[in-house]
A and B are shown apart, each in its own frame.
Chain A
Amino acid sequence: MNILLNFISTFFLIILVTILGAFLSIFERKILAILQNRCGPNRVGWFGSMQIFADVIKIFFKEDWIPPFSKKFIFFISPVISFCISLFMFFIIPFYNKCNILNINNIGVLFFLMLASLSIYSIILSGLSSNNKYSLLGSIRAISQTITYEIFLGISLMSIIIKSNSYNINDIIISQKHMWNVIPQFLNFLVFLIASLAVCHRHPFDQPESEQEISDGYHIEYSGMKFGMFFISQYISIFSVSAFISCIFFGGYLGINNFPIACLILKTLILVFLFILIRASIPRPRYDKIISFGWKFCFPISLLNLFSTAFFVLIYN
């Protein structure tokens, strides 16, 4: 009985998150438009609220073309990998005390790191199997970006783990009862925000896609539903990464006592808005500049932060 209930709730959450991810694309277009003094989609339905259905219908009925020069099997599975990984990221978020779908409490943060590293595989595989120079360029850029941000993503998480003395996300949230981690760890928060922008391939770190230079990079050969999977997985990963940040730095479900879920959702939405705001305002730097920025700036800062956190923890305990 319990297993069945678990199964149903998990299934429900998967559907919900997918729909949310699809809606975020419209939400993002609307917010981008508002930030740029435009109106955004406002024709379909009431103020454009039905635009998502128009988009979904369009994407479903697009011709699903597999290029004859591609490596078929890898080409086929890489959007599935991308979709699954971004979905898994959501499962480690605790919605209220000790309630998360994937009950791997002791290694929650490590699981996140693992997924962040694994998500590069879908990009490499799709870039290689498409047999297209643009997608290959996109995946090369994605790899070079990954070896840059992965380091300081891990290190900046480490200082949080030192501070709360646990890999368990639930424990990390509870350790923020008196003060959110964002205040003592502000530099760390900035570094982690930059790294998480890179995890989701958002502007200004959308090197693997960069429409203007390499015309959509790794998923240039994809169409129809396969493209839709890449597309939605990006938005789901925005959601899950923002939820993760709000757990790590903003106290997750803590806040208003009786509405833990509402608290988490509110924080997540504000962070999603921040992601979109950053996309609207900062242009993309050249990709070697991103690498040097990551190695020469973010990496030392996160190391410094790690050492100082360790120092203070040693002194006070």
Chain B
Amino acid sequence: MLFLKNILCNFFSQVRSIFFVFINIFNKRETVMYPEEKTKLFPRYRGRIVLTQDENGNDRCVACNLCASVCPSSCIILQQDKDNNGRSYPKFFKIDFSRCIFCGLCEEACPTAAIQLLPDFELSDYRRQDLIYEKEDLIISNQGKYLDYDFYSVSGVKLKNKNLCKNSKHVNNVDTKKILP
């Protein structure tokens, strides 16, 4: 008897699942017709990478190479250089988007919040060489996602030009022995 009941139950469960799949005909389609209809992406979506600048228009990047060394696909390459104030900046900065896996580790590693990932995924191109973005392609003239953060207010090297730091919140003398921030 139990055997028969089992068989009937299983049979009806199969028929029920077939029926529920059939009902889907009348439901709304889930597909977003992409090129005609854009999807809504969230601000933390990891897409195209940009290099941001601070509010004075200086590069935030200090060419520390942390992003290049953390990058699992080794697609960042950059060269450090020093400006007149003794601060370093990247002489060139290249990201190979044909190899980038958009993991966002570079953004996590960056101490100055210079490198950031935007919710823009429409990067496709016909030639692979065009996917290597130079510094001019990467740089944007605002602060991106992290507005108020300024690396030089918590750390950095001594400025040679004392006038520069008067009207900015840059600290001139960072006590490197102090534990508290």
Contacts and interface: CB of A to CB of B under 8 A. Distances in A.
A37 B22 contact: no
A37 B25 CA distance: 7
B28 A35 contact: no
Interface residues of B, number: 15
B122 interface: no
Contact of B18 (A34, A37, A282): A282
A35 B18 CA distance: 10
B161 interface: no
A281 B27 contact: no
B17 A39 contact: no
Given A38-B30, A38-B31, A282 B25 contact: no
A252 B30 CA distance: 38
Contacts of A38: 29-31
Interface string B99-129: 0000000000000000000000000000000
Nearest to A190: B11
A220 B7 CA distance: 37
A19 interface: no
B21 to A, nearest CB: 4
Interface residues of A, number: 12
A255 to B, nearest CB: 23
Nearest to A279: B21
A183 to B, nearest CB: 18
A222 to B, nearest CB: 31
Given A37-B29, A39-B29, A282 B14 contact: yes
Contact of A277 (B18, B27, B30): B18
A34 B22 contact: no
Interface in A216-234: none
A282 B22 CA distance: 12
Contacts of A44: none
A37 B21 contact: no
B29 A280 contact: no
A35 B22 contact: yes
Contacts of B17: 281-282
A39 B37 CA distance: 14
Contacts of A34: 24-25
A278 interface: yes
A36 interface: yes
Interface in A115-159: none
A281 B31 contact: no
A278 B24 contact: no
Nearest to B19: A281
Which 6 A-B residue pairings sit nearest by Cβ, starting from the closest? A281-B21, A39-B31, A281-B18, A37-B30, A281-B17, A280-B21
Interface of A: 34-39, 277-278, 280-282, 297
Given A35-B25, A38-B30, A281-B20, 9 more contacts: A34-B24, A35-B22, A35-B24, A36-B21, A37-B29, A37-B30, A38-B31, A39-B31, A277-B22
13 contacts: A34-B24, A35-B22, A35-B24, A35-B25, A36-B24, A38-B30, A39-B33, A277-B22, A278-B18, A280-B21, A281-B18, A281-B20, A281-B22
